[in-house]
Structure 1
Amino acid sequence: MEAVSNPNIVENVNLLLAVLIPLFGSLVVMNLKNNPNLREFVSSCSSILLFIIVLSFIPSLKEGKILQYEVFSLLPGLSVTLRADGFSMIFALVASSLWTIAVFYSMGYMRAHDEPCQTRFNACFALAIFGAIGVALSDNLFTMYLFYEIVSVCTYPLVAHHQDEESYSGARKYIIYLTSTAKFFLLPAIVLIYVLTGTLDFPHNILTGIIPSDAKSWVVILLYVFCIFGFAKNGVMPFHHWLPGAMVAPTPVSALLHAVAVVKVGVFCTTRTMLYVFGLDTMNALNLGIPTAYFVGFTIIAASIIALSKDNLKARLAYSTVSQLSYIIMGVALLTPHAIDGGLIHIVNHAFSKITLFFCAGAIYIAAHKKYISEMSGLGRTMPFTFGAFAIASLSMIGAPPVAGFVTKWNLLVGSMEAHQVGILLILIASTVLNVGYFAPVTYKAFFGKRPEGEPETGIKEAPLSMLIPILIAVTISVIIGIFPGFMMQFVQMVTG
């Protein structure tokens, strides 16, 4: 791709606006505590406007440009700079589009459940998107780190939303894990990379990275390990415990954590660093890729086994997320074209499918007050749209055609063969079987199970339309990007060439 150092003024403003819109939206929402209708109108308009602005980058990128805008510079090679390229668009399109869907779902959920502190919720939700879009549009490791930390801080009040002992405990675990790993692993690594290279700017291709070829191998390996563990939002074991603990938050927050912002920020930062800081040449020369693939392969299998044991639906979905995130890192770590394609496109595929699953969990709770899978027998007959959407999104997580997850699994399987890694192939097959094991019983119980004694078949109906419509939109998009993956794959192929 050709870098455009000084794009036209409209592109300059749009890059900056993409970051500022959720920030300004949050500030306006904070001042609308006594006007919930206007508050939600501002949230909705902000999300739609952000999505439109992100879409406006596409024509320039299709012309082979990389858009860059320096906000300010601190030192040579150390600045806060924004950038739109193919890699940016993968996550920016996901975050902006799903924010729009999540805002409308949240309106229905928060009002139906009469949740407290809805103004704070909407404001922090927007701030989390501010951080996520900042991460997506970061031009260097320093900018990405700043926005990464913003996401951690702004989502803490969301995890602690209920303000009881359970939520405070989950929120403490959440913030301690994420900030301590960033401070003890990530920040020292960034400082050392700057000292070693004199810059933190991402290059324009994924071959060379920024690490000098004459750097000592043990230093580079240490920096690589620190970066993998430092971005703990990626859910890689053993730094994954924050994620299930954060499930005490309301369902819209869980959806935000698992599909829109937090964990996607983690895997985006991890893979961006692997490809643009270390680069394919360095990773191949030091054999960093294959050991990483097997390391995260353990997370895929272990988290799937734990998910099998969880009766709480959100807990099962949480461990599914821990497992599924590692597909993304595994694909990139295999360093073959198909595997990288499969890993990066899973940022998109997992997002739409997982947000559908969490939306369904919230709808089930609002309509039937059920949290546990063992209590959901027969509910599918009275909530067919919700459980139908759950079944389709489950197929995506399993990797069955024609839903989005099939594109991921196909590319990862082909990529593992390109890398001549039979062990990775077996991990992918085993994880697919485990996916079936923890998703299929939910759908089976819902549609074919008998209602518990004393609970009639009638009396329970679908959640409000304000919740059901976003569910159907999200699951429909999952199917569309499974049948027609070309639109999002074009941005992946801008990365891999």
Structure 2
Amino acid sequence: MEIIESARPVYAILVSLLAVVLISFSGKSPNLREMWTMLAALLKFGLVVSMLPTILAGKVIEYHVTRVLPGLDIAFRVDSLGMVLALTASFLWIITSVYAIGYMRSMDEHAQTRFFMCFAIALSSAMGVAFSANVFTLFVFYEIITVTTFALVAHEETPEAIKGARRYLAYLLGTSIFFFLPAMFLTYNYAGTLDFAGQGILAGKASYTIISIIFVLYIAGIAKAGMMPFHSWLPAAMVAPTPVSALLHAVAVVKVGVFTVIRILLFVFGVDLLSKIGLGTYLAYFASFTIITASIMALRQDNLKLRLAYSTISQLSYIILAVALLTPSGITSSMMHITIHAFGKITLFFVAGAIYVTTHKKNVSELNGIGRQMPFTMAAFTIGSFSMIAVPPFGGFISKWYLIMGTFEAKLIPILIVIVVSTLLNAAYFLPIVYAAFFKQPESGEVHGIKEAPALMVAPILITAAGVLVLFFASPLLLNLVKIAVASALGGIY
């Protein structure tokens, strides 16, 4: 594999940090502040796209920044897996920024300068995770995201927001300190390196018992992936403004979590080692428990954002389940679902925010007939919902198809039952919303004067909803990128 040395991944990270400085000096000029946000988002996406032809050619881009301590380097490596997250996050930052501008202006939110500064730092850190060449670099940016998004969760500064933000920080920072950090120390102690490698770095370096302990520490330490029992930070974070919820669920935090799980499983442990010990099967069943339990909990939520939050917990575990199968189709599903879920879920959260801005309604039980007053918004919600359920021709069908193929390859038929049951549960908590919006009669006088949200909010909703459709018909483009990453994880065979 040819290695190209280039500082472009560093530039992609730094561009939003530069924007933070410019935004901070533009607080008294909202138009200028928002201009810096959009310019940084567009430039970041352009830098990421500029690296795509190199990665599709089977090459990687590397850049070493500095050595902190012997064996602890800040270094970047752009490969096909990192490119999946980077493309998704950088493109959706553009869309989310437009939506956030419309939302924050419509709600006349306070501390908007701080909001956009933290937003930019979070996206910069997501790029850092995507392009990390080793566990240490990944850990540094993983923690920066935690601290930055804490301020976003607490944005409203109400007692409820502060309480939710504290739980958010306690779970994410606590699991990192008590589990992720020891796992990293043990990895370095036994492997002698923290650099990611295609076949992993722990095979033959320690006993199966020690490796199993390191495995459990990593899984427990990556709470951003939302697996039970380290999941309650995610519903608690729903006190944040809707653009933050969209950021958490689609662009940065949870996608960084599942990406980290994939990166650690495939490039620290390796498929062969995990298969020999059987750790993948254990993780698959553990993820299955989260999928079903979170889906049942979603059914019980009347608050729309909470229903979406528990749906996210379930959908994230699809990604973990898929990679835990350790088969070509399973790993393909996990990587593709990072992007496909991002577009579907961000659409659903955008809709929740648009409904709140227009009607100040938060509950599913209050949405009867709203599709007649907000047809574009609720049509987008329908598209996002169908993708979550995996109905063709929507993007979610593609990743679930590969997931089902992966269960056959792994010969784990009980997992197939989990997928079928969870799909039915997905339908059970999404379809009633769609039905009520378009076919139920509203309460007398409730919908008079209701109309679509401002254009700066509706346009992003329609773009991400269209993306859900595009990902179905253009899935070969994403698949080509994913296949390179899968081949790297499987030793060049796919």
Q: TM-score range by the shorter chain?
A: over 0.9
> 1:399 matched to which residue of 2?
390
CA contact (8 A) 1:349 1:408 kept: yes
Match of 2:105 among 93, 101, 111: 111
Structure 1 CA distance for aligned equivalents of residues 29 and 253 of structure 2: 29
Native 8 Å contact 2:336 2:399 kept in 1:
yes
- For residue 78 of structure 1, report the CA deviation from its aligned partner: 2.2
Which string of whole-angstrom CA distances, capped at 9 and with x for unpartnered residues, describes residues 321-370 of structure 1? 00000010100000111111111100000001000000000001111111
Q: Is 1:173 the equivalent of 2:167?
A: yes
Q: 2:155 aligns with which of 158, 161, 178?
A: 161
Structure 1 residues 295-374: aligned runs within 5 Å = 295-374=286-365
Match status 1:491 vs 2:485: no
Q: 2:16 aligns with which of 14, 22, 43?
A: 22
CA distance in 2, matches of 1:60, 1:443: 43
**Residue 76 of structure 2: SS of its match in structure 1?**
strand
What is the match of residue 222 of structure 1?
213
State how 1:197-346 maps to structure 2 within 5 Å.
197-203=191-197, 205=198, 208-346=199-337
2:336 partner SS: helix
* CA distance in structure 2 between the partners assigned to 1:87 and 1:240 by the alignment: 25
How far apart, in 2, do the equivalents of 1:136 and 1:183 lie?
Answer: 21
CA separation in 1, counterparts of 2:486 and 2:475? 16
Aligned AA (1:231):
I
1:110·1:118 contact (CA, 8 Å) conserved in 2?
A: yes
Q: CA deviation at 1:453?
A: 2.8
Write the distance in 2 (CA, Å) between the matches of 1:151 and 1:74.
20
1:72 is paired with a residue of what secondary structure? Answer: strand
Q: Confirm or deny: 8 A CA contact 2:337 2:396 kept in the other structure.
A: yes
Give how far 1:409 is off.
0.8
**Partner Cα distance (2:67, 2:356) in 1:** 49
Displacement after TM superposition at 1:450 (Å): 1.0
Match of 2:465 among 465, 471, 475: 475
SS in structure 2 opposite 1:70?
strand
Letter in 2 for 1:494: I
Judge conservation of contact 1:353–1:475 (CA < 8 Å) in 2: yes
Task: Quote the residue 2:490 is aligned against.
Answer: none
Counterpart residue number, 1:85: 79
For the aligned residue pairs, the C-alpha RMSD in angstroms reads: 0.9
Matched, 1:460 2:450: yes
1:124 matched to which residue of 2? 118
Note if contact 1:76-1:199 (Cα within 8 Å) is conserved in structure 2: no
Deviation by residue 1:199-238 (Cα, 9 ceiling, x = unmatched): 00011x2xx2000415111100000010011010000000
Deviates more, 1:69-78 or 1:99-108: 69-78
Query: 1:421-453 deviations in whole A, cap 9, x for unaligned?
Result: 111000000000000000001110000111113
| Partner Cα distance (1:156, 1:76) in 2 | 31
Say if 2:53 is the partner of 1:59: yes
Q: Shift of residue 27 of structure 1?
A: 1.7
Q: Which runs of 4+ in 1 moved over 4 A?
A: none
User: 1:3: how far off?
Assistant: 4.1
Q: CA deviation at 1:458?
A: 3.2
Q: 1:41 to 1:306 in 2, by over 3 A?
A: same
Name the CA distance, whole Å, in 2 between partners of 1:373 and 1:169: 24
Match of 1:74 in 2: 68
Q: Which moved more, 1:306-315 or 1:485-494?
A: 485-494
Match of 1:443, as an amino acid?
A: V
What secondary structure is seen at the aligned counterpart in 2 of 1:57? Answer: helix
Alignment partner of 1:447 is 2:433: no
Deviations 1:53-87 (A, max 9, x none): 00011111122211100000134432100111001
Partner of 1:134: 128
Deviation at 1:312, TM superposition (A): 0.4
- Paired residues in the alignment total 487
Looking at structure 1, the residues matched to 360 and 68 of structure 2 have their Cα atoms a distance apart, in angstroms, of 53
Cα distance between partner residues in 2 of 1:193 and 1:13: 28
Give 3-state SS (helix, strand or coil) of 1:452's partner.
Answer: coil
Structure 1 residues without counterparts, runs of 5 or longer: none
Q: Does 1:31 align with 2:25?
A: yes
Aligned 8 A contact 2:370 2:442 in 1: yes
Task: Provide the C-alpha distance between the structure 2 equivalents of 1:486 and 1:212, rounded to a whole number of angstroms.
Answer: 33
For normalisation by structure 1, the TM-score amounts to 0.97
Q: Which amino acid aligns with 2:418?
A: I
SS in 1 for 2:64: strand
- C-alpha distance in structure 2 between counterparts of 1:214 and 1:234, whole Å: 27
Q: Tell me the amino acid that sits aligned with residue 402 of structure 1.
A: P
8 Å CA contact 2:190, 2:205 repeated in 1: no
Cα deviation for residue 31 of structure 1 reads 1.4
The structural deviation recorded for 1:48 is: 0.4
The answer as to whether partners of 2:249 and 2:342 remain within 8 angstroms in 1 is yes
Partner of 1:95: 89
User: 1:283 & 1:440 partners in 2: Cα distance?
Assistant: 38
Give the secondary structure class of the aligned counterpart of 1:56.
helix
AA partner of residue 206 (structure 2): A
Please state whether the residue corresponding to 1:23 is helix, strand or coil. helix
For residues 262-321 of structure 1, the C-alpha deviation after alignment (integer angstroms, 9 at most, x for no partner) is: 000100011100000000011011111111001010000000000000000000000000
Alignment partners' CA distance in 2, 1:475 and 1:214 = 47
**For the residues of structure 2 that align with 1:77 and 1:478, how far apart are their CA atoms?**
42
Q: Which amino acid aligns with 2:14?
A: L
Gaps of 5+ in 2: 488-494
Equivalent-residue separation in structure 1 for 2:23 and 2:430 (angstroms) = 38
Looking at structure 2, the residues matched to 61 and 268 of structure 1 have their Cα atoms a distance apart, in angstroms, of: 18
Counterparts of 1:252 and 1:235 in 2: how far apart (Å)? 19
Q: Say whether residues 1:43 and 2:37 are aligned partners.
A: yes
Structure 1 CA distance for aligned equivalents of residues 443 and 117 of structure 2 = 41
Report if aligned partners of 2:20, 2:117 keep a CA contact under 8 Å in 1: yes
1:390 to 364, 381, 386: 381
SS in 2 for 1:69: strand
